[in-house]
């Protein structure tokens, strides 16, 4: 057990160092959520007066959780890209033949994802608070928001690692970025479900990302009594364990 945690620690340190290499690579995943928040909160502010929109909630506050969520969402694919690079340069094969548990390889990458999520989330949070957004669930609600986002981002990162392990193709893994937008926007990210068209609302209902977004939104706008909070954790937790299991199974393909 001591060896397991020791391997996890050293692999995590190596992965975390890659966050800052190069530092400029962090700009797009920070710029996009901030840009869309500023544009949408200004251009669609009158939407908050539409009948059926949550009472006493500004559109700025309604979409503020999306800025936090997307800051994490847009950067969670890096684990797969880095894994492809490790496969290409031979480092991955060296790890495989060493007497270390394969789960520590995955957890090392996911620890990097968690650190990256906290780093980017804190920057976006400071900017949101600077324009007047407040977390109504308080300090513990803020901790819960980051816990939910980290849990989801680690689960989502496993998707890119699965593609990396099964295809070992850097261009294909990088192209996965395009699937982020359907999963993000076919949700209640821009409007409450009761104001969405029927087909769109049905898609959002079956989109797991919807429940994570609603969980974060509930913690920003209300408190822990909102059932969306536990639903968000339930979906994110289920995705995390399922995706890790599939990632471990994908190792068999990579070592052939």
Q: Tens place of pLDDT for every residue, the chain, 256 residues?
A: 568 888 888 888 888 887 766 666 667 777 788 888 888 888 888 888 888 888 888 899 999 999 988 888 777 767 778 888 888 888 888 888 887 888 888 888 888 888 888 888 888 899 899 888 889 998 999 999 999 999 998 988 888 888 888 877 777 777 776 777 778 888 998 889 988 888 999 999 999 999 999 999 999 999 899 999 999 999 999 999 999 999 888 876 666 5
Q: What is the 3-state secondary structure (H, E, C) of 75-90?
A: CCCHHHHHHHHHHHCC
Tokens of 153: 């981002």
> What is the domain extent for residue 20?
2-254
pLDDT digits (tens, 9 = 90+) for 144-185: 999 999 999 898 888 888 888 887 777 777 777 677 777 888
pTM of the model: 0.89
Q: Which class for 5: exposed (0-12), middle (13-18), buried (19 or more C-beta within 10 A)? A: exposed
How distant, in Å, are the alpha carbons of 69, 157, 225 from that of 95?
A: 33, 20, 45
Contacts of 169 (CB under 8 A, 6+ apart): 84
Axis-axis angle for helices 59-73, 208-221 (nearest 10): 130
Cα–Cα distance between 52 and 99 in angstroms, integer?
59
- Which has the closest alpha carbon to 177: 156, 152, 149, 206? 156
Question: Sign of the CA dihedral 231, 159, 113, 25?
Answer: negative
Residue that is written with structure tokens 């559109």 in the block? 59
How many structural domains are present in the chain? Answer: 1
Contacts of 83 (CB under 8 A, 6+ apart): 92, 109, 160, 161, 164, 165
Sort residue 51 into left (φ over 0), alpha (ψ -120 to 50) or beta. beta
């Amino acid at each position: 057990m001591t060896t397991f945690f020791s391997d996890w620690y050293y692999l995590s340190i190596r992965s975390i160092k890659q966050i800052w290499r190069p530092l400029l690579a962090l700009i797009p995943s920070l710029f996009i959520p901030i840009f869309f928040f500023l544009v949408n909160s200004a251009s669609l502010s009158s939407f908050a007066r539409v009948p059926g929109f949550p009472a006493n909630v500004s559109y700025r506050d309604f979409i503020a959780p999306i800025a936090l969520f997307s800051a994490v969402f847009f950067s969670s694919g890096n684990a797969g890209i880095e894994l492809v690079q490790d496969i290409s340069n031979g480092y991955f094969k060296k790890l495989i033949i060493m007497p270390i548990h394969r789960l520590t390889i995955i957890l090392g990458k996911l620890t990097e994802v968690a650190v990256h999520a906290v780093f980017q989330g804190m920057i976006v949070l400071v900017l949101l608070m600077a324009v007047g957004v407040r977390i109504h669930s308080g300090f513990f609600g803020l901790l819960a928001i980051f816990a939910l986002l980290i849990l989801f981002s680690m689960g989502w990162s496993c998707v890119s690692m699965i593609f990396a392990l099964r295809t070992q193709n850097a261009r294909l893994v990088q192209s996965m970025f395009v699937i982020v937008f359907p999963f993000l926007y076919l949700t209640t990210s821009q409007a409450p479900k009761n104001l969405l068209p029927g087909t769109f609302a049905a898609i959002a209902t079956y989109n797991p990302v919807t429940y994570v977004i609603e969980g974060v939104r509930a913690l920003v706008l209300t408190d822990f009594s909102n059932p969306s909070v536990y639903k968000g954790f339930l979906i994110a937790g289920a995705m995390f364990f399922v995706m890790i299991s599939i990632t471990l199974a994908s190792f068999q393909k990579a070592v052939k």
